[in-house]
Amino acid sequence: MTHVRIYEVGPRDGLQNEKAVIAVDDKVALIKALVDAGLKDIEVGSFVSPKWVPQMADTDRVMAALDYTNDVNYATLVPNVKGWEGFVQASANLPRNAGEIAVFIAASEGFSKANLNCTVEESLSRLAPVVEAAQSAGVPVRGYVSCITDCPFDGPTPPEAVVRAVEGLRRLAPMPVSLGDTIGAGTPETVTRVIKAVAETMPISDVAGHFHDTGGRALDNVQASLELGVRVFDAAVGGLGGCPYAPGAPGNVATEAVVERVEALGYSTGLDHAALARAGVMARKLRG
Ligand code: HMG
Ligand code: MG
């Protein structure tokens, strides 16, 4: 049976959007429940500006409280050198490498400005020293490209802009790239078009699909991506989420729903459904 890897982003992409402060212990308990469900890649926070995203300001404390006796990749988002320094400091006393860092850019200028306060080109220049430092330190790097089909500010995104963004990231290092339908406006047609274009410039095995469910089409977009050979999907337990800088971006597609759809299509995920459901209950309780 072909394996599909679920990359859990709930503790970061999900919780970053919550207004009320969530206790470190609650975040850690949710992450533990996700580990118990069998997830091997869990995005646990970000080293971004606490003025921009206050909810993630405790990422160092979350990392310090995690269980490192397993083989889980606890990933974190890093937007610039200052974020890299935060990651290095937070990792210094851990029993082993926490996991990979994720660097993120947009395919559209409007979202780049709103999310990172710079142009796409500037964001790539800021990331160059981050990727270089991570490579020297042996820390794996994942890339994100946002707004792969539509931007809340600029409208439809041309596939060529996504290809340019992917190539920009992969010039820094040959990293895997998660393609984000940040506002959930994509359809199987627009998603297929952009993935086909990206697959001409990088191996499909390094492409992940990251779908938000605003339009109720995330699962169909997962299915369309599967048909093109994508085997990694980002998802958030309990459908937590959204992006604070993307108006109209509510939840990420729910991990439980992605698991159900891909398994119904004959793929395996290796996840424990009952344990995942328990994590979903915890996630929904954390939501304001
Ligand atoms: P800026 O204001 O332009 O930054 O923000 P700056 O370099 O001018 O610095 C301003 C202040 O922020 C300074 O402090 C810096 O030290 C501080 P001050 O002197 O005013 O006291 N600062 C930082 N502090 C902590 N950590 C840092 C950091 N950098 C600067 N790393 C910046 C630029 C990139 C920092 C800001 O725009 C930011 O934090 N943006 C991140 C927004 C974010 O996290 N968005 C959500 C994640 S992306 C997403 O959800 C999409 C995704 O899921 C995929 C998809 O769905 O498409 C990944
Ligand atoms: Mg997202």
Note the pLDDT tens digit of each residue in 34-71: 999 999 999 999 999 999 999 999 999 999 999 999 99
Cα of 103 from ligand 2 centre, angstroms = 13
Q: Is the CB of 243 under 6 A from ligand 1?
A: yes
Q: Is the pLDDT confidence value at 140 over 60?
A: yes
Residue whose CA is closest, atom 46 of ligand 1? 243
- The whole-chain average pLDDT of the chain stands at 96
> Candidates 3.90.550.10, 3.40.50.720, 1.20.58.2030, 3.20.20.70; correct CATH number of 5-286?
3.20.20.70
Share of the chain above pLDDT 70, in %: 97
Note the pLDDT tens digit of each residue in 257-280: 999 999 999 999 999 999 999 999
Position of tokens 């989420």? 241
Residue whose CA is closest, atom 25 of ligand 1? 49
> What distance lies between CA 276 and its chain's CA centroid?
18
Q: What are the boundaries of each domain within the chain?
A: 5-286
Give the number of whichever ligand sits closest to the CA of residue 118.
1
Q: Which atom of ligand 1 is nearest to the CA of 53?
A: 44
Residue whose CA is closest, atom 37 of ligand 1? 116
Q: Is the pLDDT confidence value at 249 over 60?
A: no
Q: Is the pLDDT confidence value at 247 over 70?
A: no
Pocket probe mutation, ligand 1, options 48, 111, 113, max atoms within 8 Å of Cβ = 48
The per-residue pLDDT for 215 is: 87
Contact 245, 18 (CB under 8 A): no
Backbone dihedral region of 117: left (phi > 0), alpha (psi from -120 to 50 degrees) or beta?
A: left
Complete DSSP assignment for the chain = --B-EEEE-IIIIIGGG-SS---HHHHHHHHHHHHHTT-SEEEEEE-S-TTT-GGGTTHHHHHHTS--SS--EEEEE--SHHHHHHHHHHHTTSSS----EEEEEESSHHHHHHHHSS-HHHHHHHHHHHHHHHHHHT--EEEEEE-SSEETTTEEPPHHHHHHHHHHHHHH----EEEEETTS---HHHHHHHHHHHHTTS-GGGEEEEEB-TTS-HHHHHHHHHHTT--EEEEBGGG----TTSTT--PBPBHHHHHHHHHHTT-B----HHHHHHHHHHHHHH--
Cα of 51 from ligand 1 centre, angstroms = 8
Q: Is the CB of 115 under 6 A from ligand 1?
A: yes
Q: Which residues are catalytic?
A: 243
Note the pLDDT tens digit of each residue in 217-237: 999 999 999 999 999 999 999
The count of C-alpha atoms lying within 13 angstroms of the C-alpha of 282, restricted to the half-sphere facing its C-beta, is 23
Residue whose CA is closest, atom 44 of ligand 1? 48
> What distance lies between CA 263 and its chain's CA centroid?
21
Q: Is the pLDDT confidence value at 130 over 70?
A: yes
Cα of 179 from ligand 1 centre, angstroms = 20
Q: Is the pLDDT confidence value at 250 over 90?
A: no
Q: Is the pLDDT confidence value at 185 over 60?
A: yes
pTM score, whole prediction: 0.97
The per-residue pLDDT for 241 is: 79
Cα of 43 from ligand 2 centre, angstroms = 11
More confident residue, 214 or 85: 85
CA-to-CA distance for 133 and 192, rounded, in angstroms? 34
Structure tokens at 111: 């979202």
